[in-house]
Amino acid sequence: MATANPRKPLEQRGRKLSIHVVTWNVASAAPPLDLNDLLHLDDQDLNLDMYVIGLQEKNCGIISLLNDTAFEDTWSSVFMDVLSPLGFIKGNKGGVNICLKLYGYYISIINCHLPPHMTNNDQRLEHFDRILEMQNFQGLDIPNILDHDLILWFGDMNFRIEDFGLHFVREAIKNQCYSDLWEKDQLSIAKKCDPLLREFQEGPLLFPPTYKFDKNSNNYDTSEKKRKPAWTDRILWRLRRKPQDDPHIPRLLAPYFSLSQRSYVSHMMYNISDHKPVTGTFDLELKPLVSVPLITLMPEGLWTLENDMLISYTLTSDFLSSPWDWIGLYKVGLRDINDYVSYIWVGDNQVFCSDRLNQVYINISDILETEEQFLLCYYSNNLRSVVGISKPFKIQPCAFMGADPPKDDQPQN
């Protein structure tokens, strides 16, 4: 699940974006009441642009699936209760891979849950390669995932700590001697020899192993199995190899696309699962390859509840429209793309069309009078995404259309 903050205009955030990534194996538990620490909401200086939230082992029983079909699932609901008042909107993609095109750059976001147990390390590495091989978007003008400018890969990767015994590992954790354990971490070992995995970067593991805990405690596994602690929950990233990496090509004066990690931490206060959540906060700096949105939406004239509302929108020359595209009218503070108060199919309701400028009417007769602000979103059926958002505006209440009330000195019939 990905959420983006539309509050900042393009010109203010076109060169630097802050992204907060969350990975958590929630072990079928219900959401906690307090998300402030997990989402860094207490840090007023973060000024985040995007939250990327990946969960594993979210309850997917038949009753849960039926509830999720009819209603929003509880985890999404709790996260959006906190984030929607801050201006964030939930992404509409499902599955393990989300592909974004951001200012002309391709970004892939992968949430995974690899095979467990100490002895299945080869299987984990095989799954890692297989996931990359399978992520080809057939029939769409999207390059192979390895040609994307950025891959953010996170999840319960289940890599364990080899050789060292349980007592040694627990003593190293107790004394915060994490560096003693790094050399036996299976993921760190694999990165040295696996040519594909070697291209992924990871911040230093300066937090305690995040698995396995007794639920509702900060105690590592005290069951009969007494599983050895491990850093199973990880956040990796990979930047595409750029032409300037070739020694025979002169290096550019400044990088056009770079990612730096600001923090990489676990959150020990959360006890609902046998895993602790892990978050990474990143600064993405880029030189935009495109500066104009695919769609620019403009409400025309004074919008009132008395009439259908006229919408003008322009398209860039490379945008491929579809008769199944639609424009939704939303209240500011929407949680999801399905939270529209009204919508219109652009193919059925055009009143004017030129090479670039189009106009449609949208019916607002069912909207109640309110002081709230609204905005318009254009949804592309081909891209399965919102490709244009208007500036906020107000809809004026109906004017009084009856005759003036009679005055006391006028004759009555």
Give ∠ CA 225-155-36 in degrees, rounded to 5. Answer: 100
Predicted confidence at residue 95, as pLDDT, reads: 45
Chain segment 2-23, per-residue pLDDT in tens: 556 655 544 444 479 999 999 9
What are the sequence ranges of the domains in the chain? 2-286, 295-394
Architecture of domain 295-394: Sandwich (2.60)
State what percent of residues in the chain have pLDDT above 90.
Answer: 51
For the stretch 121-140, pLDDT in tens is: 999 999 998 888 877 766 56
Average pLDDT, whole number, for the chain? 84
Taking the whole predicted model, whether its pTM rises above 0.75 is answered as: yes
Residues 313 and 331: their CA atoms lie apart, in Å, by 19
Per the model's pLDDT, the better-predicted residue between 193 and 76 turns out to be 193
Q: Smallest Cα–Cα separation from 198: which of 207, 206, 188?
A: 188
Task: State the CB neighbour count (10 A cutoff) for residue 158.
Answer: 26
The better pLDDT of the pair 303, 235 is held by: 235
Report helix, strand or coil for 171: helix
Per-residue pLDDT at 13: 42
What is 2-286's CATH number, 3.20.20.70, 3.60.10.10, 3.90.1170.50, 1.10.1740.10? 3.60.10.10
User: Among 75-84, 223-232, 350-359, whose mean pLDDT is lowest?
Assistant: 350-359
Q: In 3-state terms, what secondary structure has residue 139?
A: coil
pLDDT band at 357; cut points 50, 70, 90: confident
State residue 160 phi and psi, 5-degree precision.
Answer: -115, 180
Give the 3-state secondary structure of residue 37. helix
